[in-house]
Structure 1
Amino acid sequence: MTASRTRGVLFDLDGTLIDSGRAIVAAYRHAFEHGRGVPLPAPLEDPHVLMAPRPHEIFTTWSDGDADELVALYSEHYLDTAHRQVVAYPAAVRTLEELDRRGVVTGIVTNKSRSRMLLDLEWVGIDTSLLRCIITADDSVERKPDPTPVLLGLSRAGLVPESSWYVGDGPQDVLAGRAAGVRTAGAGYGYYGAAALEPHRPDLMLDGPEDVLSVLSPSRD
């Protein structure tokens, strides 16, 4: 695929455009401490363990309490307080703005809930008008590595796989993108790291969000 044929770039969110690890861990810690009176299980202190599963699955697996109650505590704390620990990766906002300037369609495809995702974008200063599509856990029962969310993003953004890329930091992102028929770029700077992505053979490995600009060189032609 040549750079001039690139018409769209879809992004994962957590670990790709934003670093929300501390916020997510803090929200889970709050739910366990206030909902069950126990500390957050040690393995869950690692943000990447928390990224692919949905909160209900985490609480069902790691607690014998009412998972719905714990999800509510988690969401409430994230929306009220924890989101303030979210930061955008350096150059993430500028990269989206530059892609838009060059006429490249962009969007987000994430396993995260819409309410938390929109709050994150507002907090870090990512303008949703730059995004042709936003696909969240609220839009699809299936989630990455299933290709359905990526395919839904392509459809809503008016893109075709042959001229599109999906950028994500986890193996599930590479697998979902490949299954959807798009080129894949691994965000080696994210939670999983390049070593975890390399066995899944993304088409590109990025050291930062801005590498999309220099490697893909998207243009209007």
Structure 2
Amino acid sequence: MEPANQLKGIIFDLDGTLGNTLPVVFAAFQRALEKFSSRQYTNEEIAAYFGASEEGIIQQIVRSQWQDCLQSYLYEYEKAHAICDRPFPGIEAALNLCKQQNIALAVVTGKGLYSTAISLRCMGLVDCFDIVETGSADGAIKPLSIRNVLTRWNISPQYVAYVGDAPYDMQAAKEVGVMPLGAAWAETASFELLDEMSPVATFRSVENFIDWIRSYCER
């Protein structure tokens, strides 16, 4: 029988978890939407649409010209990524530690396919993950995406953790039965809101997260 506390896989959210990409998202949306909707959107207005991928958000706002607006968004997104050309300090060390411990790595994000590819490339993380599951234009699908990863890995949920910076990430992890881990190291994350979701642990820094991986693997 396998030990109940064996950690076989960690799945990561992207925005605000692997890198400080939310400012990139807001900047790209604001520039693209202003061109096609003739008004400026605040960060809060844009965030209210989160759940759907960028394709879905733009379809809701722009409608008839959404394909052109999406292309503009992706152009602006890649350009704005100059402010985020590396992951959060310590993330690469955390990923390397997981590989040393034979822990499988994946990404489950609500972002669209193309913006996810841009972010992983700009931050130098393209080759770090076995599986990358992206979002849907129709709305939030993280529980389904997490299940897809588990199926492809052929690993039971109790041996896998999901790391995210939003309460919905903790909810999605619990729904599937993987361990929810709160990433509160970004300025855009709230330790209190994450901790209210009763995750297995909430981390104020990537270093705390690395210490948790080490201690978990040493049990």
1:196 to 193, 197, 211: 193
- What CA distance in whole angstroms lies between the structure 2 residues aligned with 1:40 and 1:72? 18
- What CA distance in whole angstroms lies between the structure 1 residues aligned with 2:138 and 2:34? 29
Are the counterparts in 2 of residues 132 and 156 from structure 1 also a CA contact under 8 Å? no
Figure out how many residues of one structure are paired with residues of the other and give that number.
215
SS at match of 1:205: strand
**1:163: how far off?**
0.8
- What CA distance in whole angstroms lies between the structure 2 residues aligned with 1:93 and 1:31? 31
Amino acid across the alignment from 1:31: A
TM-score in terms of structure 1 length: 0.83
- What CA distance in whole angstroms lies between the structure 2 residues aligned with 1:164 and 1:60? 34
**1:183: how far off?**
0.8
- What CA distance in whole angstroms lies between the structure 1 residues aligned with 2:147 and 2:49? 24
Tell me the residue number matched to 2:14: 13
Tell me the residue number matched to 1:94: 93
1:156 to 148, 152, 158: 152
Amino acid across the alignment from 1:29: Q
Q: 1:49 to 1:96 in 2, by over 3 A?
A: farther
| 1:65-80 correspondence runs (5 A) | 66-79=65-78
- What CA distance in whole angstroms lies between the structure 2 residues aligned with 1:169 and 1:38? 29
Tell me the residue number matched to 2:113: 114
Are the counterparts in 2 of residues 142 and 148 from structure 1 also a CA contact under 8 Å? no
**1:49: how far off?**
4.6
Answer with 209-218 or 84-93: which moved more: 209-218
**1:115: how far off?**
2.2
TM-score in terms of structure 2 length: 0.84
Are the counterparts in 1 of residues 55 and 112 from structure 2 also a CA contact under 8 Å? no
1:135 aligns with 2:136: no
Q: Alpha-carbon deviations, 1:119-140, whole Å to 9, x = none?
A: 2122122242x312111126x9
SS at match of 2:206: coil
Tell me the residue number matched to 1:43: 44
Tell me the residue number matched to 1:214: 211
SS at match of 1:107: strand
SS at match of 1:213: helix
Are the counterparts in 2 of residues 41 and 62 from structure 1 also a CA contact under 8 Å? no
- What CA distance in whole angstroms lies between the structure 2 residues aligned with 1:119 and 1:152? 22
- What CA distance in whole angstroms lies between the structure 2 residues aligned with 1:208 and 1:202? 16
RMSD value over aligned CA atoms? 2.8
Answer with 182-191 or 211-220: which moved more: 211-220
**1:63: how far off?**
5.4
Give the gaps of 5 or more residues in structure 1. Answer: none
Identity rate, percent: 21
SS at match of 1:32: helix
Q: 1:206 to 1:120 in 2, by over 3 A?
A: same
Q: 1:199 to 1:122 in 2, by over 3 A?
A: same
Amino acid across the alignment from 2:53: R
